Structure 1
Amino acid sequence: MSLYAVQAVLILDSAGERVLSKYYQTPRASALATSPVAEQRSFEQKLAAKTKGVNDDVLIFDGHLVVYKQLADILVYIVAPLDENEVLIFQTLTTLRDVIDNALNHRVDKSNVLDRYDCVALAVDSVVDNGIILSNDSALTSERLTRSADEELTMPTVDFSETGFKSMFDFAKGRLAQAVRHQLV
C-alpha cells in the first residue's frame, strides 16, 4: 500500500470510447501513464470489451487491479497497482460515483457528463489527485463542490499579539470540532 494508490481514473461510454481519462505519473506508475495516447486508447478498448455485460466490480486486467461501476450508459474505472488494497480502491470508486451523481443532480449519463464536463473533472480531482486518494467521504466532498464562493469560510486576519494567538487557537478549535461533528453525523 502506498500514498500513490491510483494509476488512472477512466470514464468510458458503453462502446468503450473515452469520455474522461486521467493517467497519473507517480513513483508507482505503470507504463500506461507515459505511453502514447494510442496505447492508452487500446488499453481502454480492451478493458471495456472485457467488462461489457459483466456485473463484477473488481478484476485483474493486464497487470492492474481494476474496479469499476456502470452508471446508466457510462462506465467509471479506477486502475491501481496489483498490490493495492482493493477495498480502499473500491471505496474510492464508490465515493467518486456518489460525488459525480451529486454534481450532475442525479442525472448521470454520457450527455450530462459531456455537458457538465468541468464539474465531473473537478469531482475526479476532488477525490483523486496525482494518484493520491484525497477523500473517501462523498458527502463532505460533494458539499465542498457545491458550495458557492461567497459561502466559503474566510480566515480571520492574523494578529501576532497574545490575543491574536488566542483568537487563532479558538478558530482552529472551532473548525476541528465542526469537522469531528461532521464525521460523526
Structure 2
Amino acid sequence: MVNLSLYTVRAIVMLDNEGNRLLAKYYSREQGTPMSHKTTKEQKRFESDLFSKTRKSTSEIILYEGQTVVFKYVNDVYFYLIGNPEENELLLSSVLNGLVEAISLLLKHNLDKRSLLDNLDMVVIALDEAIDDGIALETDPNVIASNVSKRGMDTIDVSLGDINEQSIMDAYKHVKDRINLALLR
C-alpha cells in the first residue's frame, strides 16, 4: 500500500557548475529515512556524488540512492529537488520548475551564480513560499514571486528617496532628536 503524505520533498539543493554548494535545505520528518540525521559532511558527500552523476546527464529525473531526484541546469547553477522514491515525478518537476521560474522572475531573468548569491535572501524566501517543511505549497512562479515581493515591501519602513535627499547632518540631527525624545519619556 502506498503511503500518502503531504511531505513530498526531502531536500532542495543548489550547486554551482563546479559542484560547490550555493544553498541546501534538507527536510526530515520520519526517523530512518535516507535524508534524516545527515551530518554536514554526509550532505556534502551526497551532493558531490549527485553532481558527479548528473552533470553530464541529458535526463532531468533520476533515481539516486533510493530517492527520486529531479534536477535542472540554468546558466551555471544546478537545482536539485529530492523526493521520496514513490513520489510522483511530475509533481516534483512541477514544484522545481515553478521555483526556478520564480527565482528567475525575482532576479529579472538574470539567473546565475553571482546574482543568486547577491539576492540570497529573496531566493530563500521564494524557497519557503514554494516548500514548507517538505510540503509543496505552490508551483505557480508568478504567485511565488508576488508573495516574495509583498514580503519585501512589508519590511521597508523608510523610503529610499527620503534617505537620499537628507544630508548626513540632517540624518544625525534627526537621530539625535529621536534619542532625546525617547530619553525624556
Once the two structures are superposed, the pairs formed by residues 82-101 of structure 1 within 5 Å of their partners are: 82-101=85-104
TM-score (norm 2): 0.77
Q: How big is the shift at 1:136?
A: 1.3
Structure 2: distance between partners of 1:71 and 1:26: 30
The aligned counterpart of 2:47 is 44
**Which residue is 1:149 aligned to?**
154
Number of corresponding residues: 150
**1:79 to 2:119 alignment:** no
Corresponding position of 1:177: none
CA contact under 8 A between 1:126 and 1:135: conserved in structure 2? yes
1:30 paired residue among 30, 33, 51: 33
Q: Secondary structure at the match of 1:68?
A: strand
The aligned residue for residue 135 of structure 2 is 132
Query: CA 1:97 to 1:49, structure 2 compared with 1: closer, same or farther past 3 Å?
Result: same
Specify every segment of 5 or more residues in structure 2 that has no aligned partner in the other structure, as ranges. 156-185
What percentage of aligned pairs have identical amino acids? Answer: 32
Instruction: Give ranges in structure 1 of 5+ residues lacking alignment.
Output: 151-185
Residue 21 in 1 paired to residue 46 in 2?
no
Cα separation, 2, equivalents of 1:113 and 1:33 = 27
User: Considering only aligned residues, what root-mean-square deviation do their CA atoms show, in Å?
Assistant: 1.5
- Tell me, what secondary structure is at the counterpart of 2:57? coil
Which of 62, 68, 78 aligns to 2:65? It is 62
The CA distance in 1 between the partners of 2:31 and 2:68, in whole Å, is: 13
Q: Please tell me whether the aligned partners of residues 8 and 131 of structure 1 are also in contact (alpha carbons under 8 angstroms).
A: yes
Native 8 Å contact 2:62 2:68 kept in 1: yes
The alpha-carbon deviation at position 26 of structure 1 amounts to: 1.3
Structure 1 CA distance, aligned partners of 2:6 and 2:82? 15
With over 3 angstroms needed to count, the CA separation of the structure-2 counterparts of 1:115 and 1:29, relative to structure 1, is farther
Residue pair 1:4, 1:27 contacting (<8 A) in 2 also: no
1:102 aligns with 2:116: no
**2:114 equivalent among 111, 114, 126:** 111
Counterparts in 2 of 1:29 and 1:129: CA distance versus 1, 3 Å: farther
Do the aligned residues in 2 keep the contact of 1:7 with 1:29 (CA within 8 Å)? Answer: no
Find the aligned partners of 2:80 and 2:25 in 1 and give their Cα distance.
11
**Structure with larger Rg:** 2
Runs of 4+ aligned structure 1 residues displaced above 2 Å come to: 27-33, 147-150
Amino acid at match of 2:136: I
Q: Deviations over 1:23-64 (max 9, x none)?
A: 002137723231110010000000000011222110001111
The alignment partner of 2:9 has SS state of: coil
